[in-house]
Amino acid sequence: MNMSYCQATFNSIHQCWPPTLAGQFAKLPCPSNVTDFHYNENG
C-alpha cells in the first residue's frame, strides 16, 4: 500500500513536527518559554 505523508519539519521556534499522513493533523503543545504571544492552545 502506497501512502502519502507530509515530511517532518522544524518551525521558527525549533519544534520538530513529525511526519504525518496526508489529510491528517499533527499537534504539538506550545513551549512555555515563548513569551511574545499567548500560547494557551496547541498549534
40 has pLDDT over 70: no
Give the chain's domain count: 1
Q: Which helix (H) or strand (E) holds 9?
A: strand 9-10
Strands (E), the chain: 5-6, 9-10, 16-17, 20-21
The answer to which of 2-6, 13-17, 29-33 has the lowest mean pLDDT is 29-33
**Domain housing 8:** 1-43
Q: Is the sign of the CA dihedral 27, 12, 10, 31 positive or negative?
A: negative
Percentage of the chain with pLDDT > 70? 72
* Nearest residue to 25 (alpha-carbon basis) of 41, 43, 9: 43
Ranges of H-type helices in the chain: none
Residue 11: per-residue pLDDT = 83
pLDDT at residue number 41 = 59
